[in-house]
Copies of this chain bind each other. A is one copy, B any other.
Amino acid sequence: MKDLESLSASQAARALARRDIKATDLLLSCLDRIGQRESLIKAWVSLDKENAMARARELDKGPIKGILHGLPIGVKDLFDTCDLPTGYGSPIYANHYPAADAVSVALMRQAGGIILGKTVSTEFASFKPPATVNPHHLKHTPGGSSSGSASAVADFMVPLATGSQTAGSIIRPASYCGVVGFKPSFGKIMVAGVKALSPSLDTLGCFGRSIGDVALGVAAMSDDLELAHVSELHNKPRISICKTQDWSLAGKETAGALALARFAAEAISKGPVKDILLPTACNEITLVQSRIMSFEMVRALGFEQKSFAKKMNAQLLQQLNEGSKISYEQYQKDLLSAKEARFAIDQLFLNEVDLIIAPSATGEAPIAKEGTGNPVFCRGWTLLGLPCINLNISSGPNGLPVGVQLIAGPGKDRFLLSVARALAQSLPDPVLRDQA
């Protein structure tokens, strides 16, 4: 068996279910790849080779357990795992073993997934750059906070890995690393057992190398198993482009990616793909997201700040200090305007559009020492709670990947997967069509 690590999660899952390949062989291929590359990429906090191998052997002998049968999975270190240390990216929790798995981790194991190890997260999913680098260019960031998961999947170390997004921590690293990232609707995957950063915003999801991969991942994590079967589109959807109010921050490569996505969308859209403005109730969503996140972080990390401030990074402390200046009154206003924005977006999706295409990031991944990149193009969509998928579309001046995100109405996760596949199939570049 050679090169099994290059199979996508959905290819591997099919082969495993047919017993064409063994879980032990796939795991060995992934471990080989990690052995070759980890010293460069630094995607992992910990690996659990022995337990993973024991589990793979067990799965090879027993019946097919579920939709993730035999798939090695990377779990962002923000998710509790009962048998692997869970550090939440912070020295405060060095060698912390939670008493239970996060709900989503337990569901992945129940579906036959093999938790291979924990991937690097920034400290409590905040903004300080971690050691992980971008596999496409080792001097560049993979993005954050799901840095390790995006890099590990992009570098063929593992076919599937979990992520979480509060501002732009799934879609942005997926764009920077050239992989498919899926942030489903808010609440689709239970957050219980994942370290809270901003409960009004925290959303779980995953990374893969194709639409089928992330469908499998989110299907297992949410226990909505039907989601794994991405169905054909029956009707042409109404597709629009939304450059957003922050368009001035987009680089040329983002403009280029959006143009290519528009071209591909024309082939599957009902009518021409027009530019759309969001309802006025959404004018402030980026700012509102930012303030709600800052306010809630101060409370969510209050225990750690009180007891262990000296162990927290200075950038995070600074962010908490900023958040502590926001009044409860302002916070309540912001929650109310979020509610109004969500109601307005419901109406937009009912009446005018089925799918929105928008930038995933300002451009290609910046140099690592400059930070994990700007989440500005994700903040608003996270606040709105809409399902978003990053597709890899083109590349930037340094040859790094550049994606766009596809966004569907609230709760339309299945539909989003179907359109994303159709759109990927219409991309001009045959390599990028493999994402379908």
Interface window among A251-259, A264-272, A295-303: A295-303
Tell whether, in the assembled complex, residue A411 and residue B303 are in contact, meaning their CB atoms are under 8 Å apart: no
- Which chain B residues lie closer than 8 Å to A191 at the CB level? 199
A303 contacts B106, CB within 8 Å?
yes
- The CB with the most chain B CB atoms within 10 A, among A191, A299, A304, is that of A299
Q: Given the complex of chains A and B, what is the CA–CA distance between A200 and B101 in angstroms? A: 20
Are the CB atoms of B196 and A192 closer together than 8 Å?
yes
CA distance A122 to B141 in the complex (A): 48
Identical subunits present: 2
Chain B residue contacts of A223, Cβ below 8 A: 299, 328
Q: How far is the CA of A335 from the CA of B332 in the complex (A)?
A: 24
Given the known inter-chain contacts A99-B96, A196-B190, please indicate yes or no for A107 contacting B302, CB distance below 8 A.
yes
Contact of A192 among B100, B103, B199 (CB under 8 A): B199
Task: Indicate if the CB atoms of A300 and B103 lie closer than 8 Å.
Answer: yes
Residues of B within 8 A of A193 (CB): 196
Which residue of the partner chain B has the closest CB to A295? Answer: B223
Q: Which residues of B contact A226 (CB under 8 A)?
A: 328-329
Residue A187 is within 8 A (CB to CB) of chain B in the complex: yes
Distance from A184 Cβ to chain B, minimum over Cβ atoms (Å): 13
A98's nearest neighbour on chain B, judged by CB, is B99
Q: A290 an interface residue at 8 Å Cβ cutoff?
A: no
Q: Is the pair A93, B103 in contact by a Cβ cutoff of 8 Å?
A: no
Inter-subunit contact B328/A225 (CB<8 Å): yes
Question: Would you call B192 and A300 a contact (CB within 8 A)?
Answer: yes
A82 touches B303 (CB 8 A): yes
Judge whether A352 is part of the interface by a CB distance below 8 angstroms: no
Interface residues on A, range: 35 or more
Q: How far is the CA of A317 from the CA of B149 in the complex (A)?
A: 35
Contact present for A106 and B192 (CB under 8 Å): no
Q: Which A88-127 residues sit within 8 Å CB-CB of chain B?
A: 93, 96, 98-101, 103, 106-107, 110
Q: Which residues of B contact A187 (CB under 8 A)?
A: 199-200
Nearest CB of B to A294, in Å: 14
A232 to B335, CA, bound (A): 25
The residue in chain B whose Cβ has the minimal distance to the Cβ of A219 is B328
Knowing A192-B196, A196-B192, A411-B332, say if A304 contacts B224 (CB, 8 Å): no
Residues in chain B near residue A103, CB distance under 8 A: 196, 299-300, 302-303
Chain B neighbourhood of A336, CB < 8 A? 411
The answer to whether B100 and A303 have CB atoms under 8 Å apart is: yes
User: CB of A2 within 8 A of chain B?
Assistant: no
- Cα–Cα, bound, A100→B308 (Å): 11
* Set of chain B residues within 8 Å of A302, measured between Cβ atoms: 103, 106-107, 110
A306 at the interface (CB under 8 A from B): yes
Interface residues of A in 372-424 (CB under 8 A from B): 411
A299 to B103, CA, bound (A): 7
Interface string of A164-207 (1 = CB under 8 A from B): 00000000000000000000000100111100100110000000
CB pair B110 A306 closer than 8 Å: yes
- Contact mask for chain A residues 320-334; partner B; CB cutoff 8 A; 1 contact, 0 none: 000000001100100
Residues of B within 8 A of A96 (CB): 99
Contact pattern, A 60-92, Cβ under 8 Å of B = 1, otherwise 0: 000000000000000000000010000000000
- Find chain B residues with CB under 8 A from A303 CB: 82, 100-101, 103, 106
Query: What string of 1s and 0s marks CB contacts (under 8 Å) between A4-43 and chain B?
Result: 0000000000000000000000000000000000000000
Pairs across A and B, CB under 8 Å, 16 listed: A96-B99, A100-B303, A103-B196, A103-B299, A103-B302, A103-B303, A106-B306, A107-B299, A110-B306, A190-B299, A191-B199, A192-B300, A193-B196, A223-B299, A335-B411, A336-B411
A106-B303, A187-B199 given. 4 additional CB < 8 A pairs?
A82-B303, A98-B99, A107-B299, A335-B411
Q: Which residues of A contact B (CB under 8 A)?
A: 82, 93, 96, 98-101, 103, 106-107, 110, 187, 190-193, 196, 199-200, 223-226, 296, 299-300, 302-304, 306, 328-329, 332, 335-336, 411
